[in-house]
Amino acid sequence: MTGGAGFIGSHLVKRLLSDGWHVTVVDDLSSSLSNAKVEPTAPVYKLDIAEPALADVFSEHPPEIVFHLAAQVSVTRSMREPELDIHTNIVGGINLLQQCVRFGVKRVILFSTGGALYGDPDYLPCDEAHPIKPLSIYGASKHALEQYTRIIAETNDIEYTILRPGNVYGPGQDPQGEAGVVAIFGSRMLAGQEVTIHGDGEQAKDYVYVDDVVAAGVAAARPDVPEGGVYNIGSGTPTSVNEIFSLLAKETGYSRAPIHASGRPGDVRRIYLDTSRAQHELGWVPEIDLSEGIARTVAALRQANGMAAY
């Protein structure tokens, strides 16, 4: 698995290990929280996936299934440093696919994006057939890797599945990063710090709890899953940033008003996903609603900061 020490990846590693899988992790440990998330029972290789040394990991631990989660995930950073997206999300992804071909991998499960891929939607909810017109370098890089995955996999008889999650949140997300409004807001609220909302706060996204995304990843690895499937993974409901702020303020007891700053380039105004294909073909449905997910996330933030629950 690539990105197995990151936010979603670390949760997926735990689930796979508990289900009896043998997991090997490749991660550059660039996240500020990565070292705390590495599972001690899974071999971990600190490595940039664009490096030739990735072949050595495949040689030592030949995989049957590859879960690909490693990525530069910040929309804001992608607009500021597009070369980083190209290096990690495209060059690194192609290197990974080449090793999959070389070492006879049976299936690749690519975690793409449903929040940044479709751009400003022509219709809502977005299904998988919606036109692809990303507003950010991040979304464009994810779309490019989807196409490389399809072509390389089909040319080399590798099964593949593409998952397009919405805005993923939950325990373990980096509150010091540039992505993950729930973790960022929740951490600052618990510390009594100012919270900044970019724009008017009415921009709305599809928030999906990390355990539900992990469940989709596990479902995608089943042998009966249709070849070449592409699936939106989300709640199917739009939630505004202002609503996220209010829910977190209530959960944390935060009483200060937010500060508003200018909007961020590349940010989609309003999007939510049609997940009916995942429900029908993967047997997947989201189980954690937003209020429960936020409560769990805040509880984890309290624990991480040595704060008492109440």
Q: Write out the catalytic residue numbers.
A: 138
- CA 190 to chain CA mean position, Å: 24
201: left (phi over 0), alpha (psi -120 to 50) or beta: left
- How many whole angstroms separate alpha carbon 290 and alpha carbon 207? 7
Q: At what angle do helices 241-252 and 181-190 cross, to 10 degrees?
A: 30
Pairing of strands 239-240, 204-205: antiparallel
Which residue is it, tokens 């509880």? 299
3-state SS assignment for residue 285 = coil
Residues 6+ apart with CB under 8 A from 307: 190
- How many whole angstroms separate alpha carbon 290 and alpha carbon 239? 9
Signed CA dihedral, 284, 125, 143, 205: sign only: negative
Is the distance from CB of 121 to CB of 130 less than 8 angstroms? yes
What is the H or E stretch that residue 239 is in? strand 239-240
- How many whole angstroms separate alpha carbon 7 and alpha carbon 205? 19
What is the H or E stretch that residue 26 is in? strand 25-27
What is the H or E stretch that residue 67 is in? strand 65-68
| Tokens matching residue 280 | 């029908």
Helices in 209-271 by DSSP H: which ranges? 210-220, 241-252
Strands (E), the chain: 25-27, 44-46, 65-68, 107-111, 159-165, 167-169, 196-198, 204-205, 207-209, 229-233, 239-240, 259-261
